[in-house]
Amino acid sequence: MSYISEMRKKVGHDPIIYAGATVLVFNEKGELLLNLRSDTGDWGIPGGGKELGETLEECAVRELKEETDLDADALELMNVLSGGDYGFTYPNGDVVDCIIALYRVRNYSGRLSINDGESTELRFFPLEGLPELESRAKAIIDRIKSGEIKL
């Protein structure tokens, strides 16, 4: 059972601070990998919550593998994000205030495939042609497009 699941047993849907990693993966055309989330029906960026004893880098590598079956061969820390733009309420009512370590994968290997129930589709999109995004993913992309986060 995950750390977050254990915490939810104690606090119910009340807000919790949620530390984790989000992983930017670009293909050879410069397109960004997104996952169509099964919980919200919005597109998001692969990532998730840190487990006890795990580094943020380990979290990024694990979440990428779990969600996409890709192996991150080289990570670069882009930014650490927090604040109002990164709060989120899940469809089940769970509320989180996220601290996100944003990584870019410099090299990856493997064959793209859905490994868990968190996504219904995986696809690369050009930054100028993105679909409707989940709020935290949108906040990240807005900061990239504004030049605040440099790729």
pLDDT averaged over the chain?
94
| 6, 47, 50, 108 from 14: Cα distances, Å | 13, 22, 19, 37
Residue 13's pLDDT band (boundaries 50, 70, 90)? Answer: confident
Question: CB count, 10 Å around CB of 137?
Answer: 22
Query: Is the model's pLDDT at 151 over the cut of 80?
Result: yes
Quote the pLDDT of residue 121: 96
pTM: 0.94
Q: Residue 107 corresponds to which tokens in the numbers above?
A: 């090299």
Residue ranges of the domains in the chain? Answer: 19-145
Quote the pLDDT of residue 12: 87
Which class is 19-145 in CATH? alpha beta
